[in-house]
Structure 1
Amino acid sequence: MEYDFIIVGTGPAGASVAFALAQSPKQPKVLILEAGGLNDDKSLRTDGQRWLTFLQQDLNFGYKTSPQEHAGNRQIDYSRGKGLGGSSAINFGVFTVGAKHDYDTWAKLVNDEEFTWSCMQQRFKKIVTFHRDIPEGVDPKYASPLAKNHSSSGGGPLHVGYAKEWEEDLIPTLDLLSEGAGYPLNPDHNSGNPIGLSVLISSAYNGVRSTSKDLLGSLPENFTVKTFSAVEKVIFDGNRATRVVTVDGDTFLASKEVILSAGALDSPKILMHSGIGPLDQLSEYQIPVIHPSPFVGQNLRDHAFVPLVHQRKPGSSLSTRSVFYGSLKRQEEAMKQWQKDGTGEWSKYACEVGIGFFKLGERFLTSKEFERLPESEKEYLRDETVPHTEVFTHFPFHWFFPGGDFPRGDEDKLVDYSCFLVFLYNAQSRGEVRLQSRDPKVPLKFDPKFLGHEFDRRAAVESLREFIERAIESEGFKKAVVRQIVGPEGNSDEKLLEFWQQAMSSSWHMTGTAKMGRDGDEEAVVDEEFRVRGVKGLRVADMSVVPVLVSAHTQGVAYVTGYTCGEKLLKEYDLL
């Protein structure tokens, strides 16, 4: 069973590698291995239920972090998707691409212009078809993307855009934040400059969520996809990768290359079980060494967030979501409607939100924690396109309330509430993933070291404080609120940090555990061609190689990372 290329993983990165190789008229023989199943239940694509798919155990590896020292020793959810589509099958459907400067910094770090924003933006247009339609009567100031920044026709098979119907209080919430709190509007967060308040571009269209499985839907016959084929390790002849072995003992041959796209938590595991990794860990678990690579599993970075939830006064908002979410009968009827034609209330509620990427003020920029950063990091943070924090509106928090006992109103109806998420960006902590068993079925130990750096604690505190001062304490918001349901007990540094420690969650944006770098970068696991240093015939193409914590929810970054690797393979092997 020999193939030219073997791709491990069908998440956004792996599917994009395959999608690029499928453009070759020379028809290389490609095998794609997926640890999970087909994920072919239609209901998994219900747009309004995108928040619940990750709770399904058969779709989720169910990872947890190690106890976090600076987060109350809590083990924090580190969910990763399983099955065709990978994590895009269970994520929250946020399609953001980040800041122009993120990509230009990436290109500079690895000394390759292929990673600049101008190049990456063209690749997004090949992967994505963007639907710019917004509900009739909505002022274009809230969403008016320029055609030059998107592929609106003739793009790729991944369909993204705006919900057809928006909840009644979405525009009033944006007005509250823009007019009442002074946040600027941005009509297109995917233009390369995300700064400002936008209506979210989702990985969904016409009530149906999109996943990376869509990139695999029309692969030619020279491609083979095998599900329930979790990879244990790569086998080498000398220092050349020639085979992969699954945990069930199946072996597949690769005449040209093996490409690992198992994600930032699992690609390092496969590398280490293959004999590529830190010598001390390989030695501890008696794994034969193929090539010592001390930074495999290092440099883990991530975003994190906390929720702010408030009960609203009756009649103070136009929202009808509490009525919908408070009625199981109504939800069941809505699902029947969605199954019929993709319309109805499951294509309205929690299908459109507001998203804002913002700079913090002088209090943050003049803090001692900011001043102590390396000059290169301060320069990066001062770039006009790089945000310091993110705010997210309309999160359906009642589904995630501790113990599931969300406050109810009269007649046991769900209370009307607002929920904002406040994100920590540009964390300076460097976590790690480590071997903890010789058994390849045992996951690595995941330690992101959340809030472990003094800058992260300052940025977390100031992000939360500034949003509370500008928005939560504004007259327009206060007059509509009954009480705080979830939030800090005060506005001091101590109380704000305490709330982060008690309530923070990962954003599931794990990055950097097999970092890409130029020649001479001792921390680089792969080079700018995605090739694993020290061996031949093996590449890694997923978020583990990205050397920048991109200012975005990272599924979009994973897509374009995989496609970039695929293009490099097409060029190197003369497949066009």
Structure 2
Amino acid sequence: MSKHYDYIVVGAGSAGCVLAGRLSEDPSVQVLLLEAGPPDTSVWLHLPIGYGKTMWSTKYNWCLHTDPDPNMNGRRIYWPRGKTLGGSSAINGLIYIRGQRQDYDHWAELGNTGWSYDDVLPYFIKSETNELGATPHHGDSGPLRVSNIHHKHELIEAFLSGAQEIGVPRTTDFNGEDQEGAGYYQLTTHKGLRCSTATAYLRPARKRSNLTIISNARATGLIMDGTRAAGVNYLVGNTRQSAQLNPNGEVLLSAGAIYSPQLLQLSGIGPASLLQERGIPVVADIPGVGENLQDHLQIRLGFECTKPITTNDALNSLWGKFNMGLQWLTRREGPLAIGINQGGCFMRALPSESPTPDIQFHVATLSADMAGGKVHPYSGFTFSVCQLRPESRGHVRIKSTDPLETPEIQPNYLDTDLDRRTTVAGVKAARAIAQTEAMRPYVKREVKPGPQAESDEDLLEFARDTGATIFHPSGTCRMGPDGDAMAVLDPQLRVRGVQGLRVIDASSMPTLISGNTNAPVVMMAEKVVDLMREERRQ
């Protein structure tokens, strides 16, 4: 007989570790956390610069690819996703961004009661210990460590000055009252090490007798009792196992924007037409499951630097590598402690159409053919720019009843006129900064897209040929109010028409927030734990 649990959490990522850590604080409940990947034991999962290693690790990364996207000249685009305790928070670029006040107010305007900025701010504050200290916008006693970048890099300083030349003010806090500005990013690090959600929330909870963690456990579907979730089937190696819920228990899907909708569809919860085509009995006809896929498309401009001051130079030299290691060992500083992107900005590419920033820059003091790839042999740096609130929508749909088969992933990038115009304007903004008086002494040449790309049509074609994910897929199980036929979840993140089942991860977002998604997902999990506790008290 399998053990019974009050909560079964599927996926130990940015949300799942928060859920398991917080829910197990109550000794009266039994919590099971299932993670498809292995434990987070590799040193590369804890060194911030390990991002370059785990980007391609099939052990710790799902290494997904989209289906051919007709808007991207038929390319299949690489989508890395975390597969270990901590999920994508264990392999991401570490950047701590919440988004804009208007993002969450828009969620509330869509009918998602309780998700306005004023509603969610307390949970951002609760989740963090921020180096900025306790302020009206930040916390100093939460599990997630958020640190400043202390060493100022010559190239980043030039970028910030160049941004000021084109009218973007300098800022010290992208997560304060106003996001707009140029500055150094804060990172989810502490004393030179990554602070994933596994480190922040799971490590303190491991000793609790009411928390069971099973790694290398691939969920294959839900156990349904009519329209009530009763448990989860999963594989450990080739062995089929199951976990059962206690009466009134809940399954909490936190498998991410790809695998949460896949698990629902495999379990008969989703668009009836799709399920019937795949020969799956329909438990709940919810047409929005797997639809509404959104992502930030990044366009990377590469430059050769006039000075040997880039991370390329350090990585291409034995002395440079030794010095990087020495900096980390003696002071917990340097490139090993801060990852890839140090600075950036939020600005308006189309100021007449957007009252708030509509593009984001990530500035890296290195260059490679793609994020996490082998650095170029010359001194190089990268401006990566993305549209913050894309209109384009894609989908995730199972191809068969095989739970181990990757579903169809169609991002449908650049599908709308606004997305195309904003992307082109973003590339132009990056070029404008590179051509400022502050940046000119550092730019030997623009490698990509290069001087041959002059017209808007050229720049759009460059985006189609080279654009890639910046790792923020979301929206495929979105929440919404009663009467919204495409809403998968209610504002408490409960699956509509099904009992004992919630989805809590980036797939729950109705619209993509304006920035990196890790911190918002942590906030969502913190908030839902409070909602669940309140329901249990009633």
Q: TM over 0.5, yes or no? A: yes
Provide the residue aligned with 1:400 in structure 2: 370
Residue 80 of structure 1 contacts residue 86 of structure 1 at CA under 8 Å; is this kept in 2?
yes
Distance across 2 between alignment mates of 1:474 and 1:186: 19
Provide the residue aligned with 2:11 in structure 1: 9
> Which residues in structure 2 correspond to 1:448-487 (within 5 Å)?
448-468=411-431, 470-487=432-449
SS of alignment partner, residue 472 of structure 2: coil
Deviation per residue, 1:437-485 (Å, 9 max, x gap): 21000011100101111221111111212332x3123244334322121
Q: Does 1:539 align with 2:502?
A: yes
**How big is the shift at 1:234?**
0.7
Distance across 1 between alignment mates of 2:191 and 2:340: 10
> Which residues in structure 2 correspond to 1:26-65 (within 5 Å)?
26-65=27-66
Residue 167 of structure 1 contacts residue 348 of structure 1 at CA under 8 Å; is this kept in 2?
no
Distance across 1 between alignment mates of 2:509 and 2:81: 18
* Distance of aligned partners of 1:51 and 1:130 in 2 relative to their CA distance in 1, 3 Å threshold: farther
> Which residues in structure 2 correspond to 1:151-190 (within 5 Å)?
151-152=139-140, 155-178=141-164, 180-190=165-175
Provide the residue aligned with 1:204 in structure 2: 189
SS of alignment partner, residue 15 of structure 1: helix
Provide the residue aligned with 1:246 in structure 2: 234
Whichever structure has more strand as a proportion of its residues is: 2
**How big is the shift at 1:146?**
7.6
Provide the residue aligned with 1:523 in structure 2: 486
Provide the residue aligned with 1:443 in structure 2: 406
**How big is the shift at 1:18?**
2.1
Provide the residue aligned with 2:380 in structure 1: 417
Provide the residue aligned with 1:412 in structure 2: none
SS of alignment partner, residue 266 of structure 1: helix
- Residue-pair matches, total: 527
Say which of 236, 256, 259 aligns to 1:266: 259
Residue 531 of structure 1 contacts residue 539 of structure 1 at CA under 8 Å; is this kept in 2?
yes
Distance across 2 between alignment mates of 1:399 and 1:327: 19
> Which residues in structure 2 correspond to 1:226-305 (within 5 Å)?
226-247=214-235, 248-255=239-246, 256-305=249-298
| Residue identity opposite 2:317 in structure 1 | S
Q: Provide the aligned C-alpha RMSD in A.
A: 2.2
| Residue identity opposite 1:231 in structure 2 | A
**How big is the shift at 1:361?**
4.0
| Residue identity opposite 1:353 in structure 2 | Q
Distance across 1 between alignment mates of 2:346 and 2:491: 29
Deviation per residue, 1:48-73 (Å, 9 max, x gap): 33343222110111110111111121
Gaps of 5+ in 1: 133-144, 366-380, 409-414
Provide the residue aligned with 2:127 in structure 1: 127
Q: Does 1:389 align with 2:359?
A: yes
Distance across 2 between alignment mates of 1:355 and 1:19: 32
SS of alignment partner, residue 241 of structure 1: strand
Distance across 2 between alignment mates of 1:509 and 1:526: 20
Distance across 1 between alignment mates of 2:213 and 2:177: 34
Distance across 2 between alignment mates of 1:104 and 1:204: 29
* Distance of aligned partners of 1:167 and 1:466 in 2 relative to their CA distance in 1, 3 Å threshold: closer
SS of alignment partner, residue 422 of structure 2: helix
* Distance of aligned partners of 1:52 and 1:36 in 2 relative to their CA distance in 1, 3 Å threshold: same
Distance across 1 between alignment mates of 2:121 and 2:219: 32
Deviation per residue, 1:297-326 (Å, 9 max, x gap): 0000111111111112247xxx35343122
| Residue identity opposite 1:285 in structure 2 | R
Distance across 1 between alignment mates of 2:373 and 2:244: 48
| Residue identity opposite 1:163 in structure 2 | I
Distance across 2 between alignment mates of 1:511 and 1:253: 28
Provide the residue aligned with 2:74 in structure 1: 73
Provide the residue aligned with 1:357 in structure 2: 346
Distance across 2 between alignment mates of 1:540 and 1:350: 30
Deviates more, 1:3-12 or 1:342-351: 342-351
* Distance of aligned partners of 1:192 and 1:97 in 2 relative to their CA distance in 1, 3 Å threshold: farther
Deviation per residue, 1:329-383 (Å, 9 max, x gap): 5425644764x56725444564661121111345x63xxxxxxxxxxxxxxx43x
Distance across 2 between alignment mates of 1:221 and 1:6: 15
Deviation per residue, 1:126-177 (Å, 9 max, x gap): 2111113xxxxxxxxxxxx88221112xx22211111343334332331222
| Residue identity opposite 1:294 in structure 2 | P
Residue 453 of structure 2 contacts residue 459 of structure 2 at CA under 8 Å; is this kept in 1?
yes
SS of alignment partner, residue 439 of structure 2: helix
| Residue identity opposite 1:182 in structure 2 | G
SS of alignment partner, residue 539 of structure 1: strand
| Residue identity opposite 1:400 in structure 2 | M
**How big is the shift at 1:182?**
2.6
TM-score under structure 2 length normalisation: 0.93
* Distance of aligned partners of 1:173 and 1:461 in 2 relative to their CA distance in 1, 3 Å threshold: closer
| Residue identity opposite 1:482 in structure 2 | K
Distance across 1 between alignment mates of 2:215 and 2:359: 38
Distance across 2 between alignment mates of 1:48 and 1:158: 19
SS of alignment partner, residue 291 of structure 2: coil
SS of alignment partner, residue 148 of structure 1: coil
Residue 254 of structure 2 contacts residue 504 of structure 2 at CA under 8 Å; is this kept in 1?
yes
| Residue identity opposite 1:484 in structure 2 | E
| Residue identity opposite 1:564 in structure 2 | K
Q: Does 1:505 align with 2:468?
A: yes
Residue 19 of structure 1 contacts residue 563 of structure 1 at CA under 8 Å; is this kept in 2?
no
SS of alignment partner, residue 243 of structure 1: strand
**How big is the shift at 1:400?**
3.2
* Distance of aligned partners of 1:332 and 1:440 in 2 relative to their CA distance in 1, 3 Å threshold: farther
Residue 395 of structure 1 contacts residue 420 of structure 1 at CA under 8 Å; is this kept in 2?
no
Deviation per residue, 1:25-44 (Å, 9 max, x gap): x5311111100110112342
| Residue identity opposite 1:356 in structure 2 | C
* Distance of aligned partners of 1:401 and 1:344 in 2 relative to their CA distance in 1, 3 Å threshold: closer
| Residue identity opposite 2:349 in structure 1 | L
Deviates more, 1:279-288 or 1:507-516: 279-288
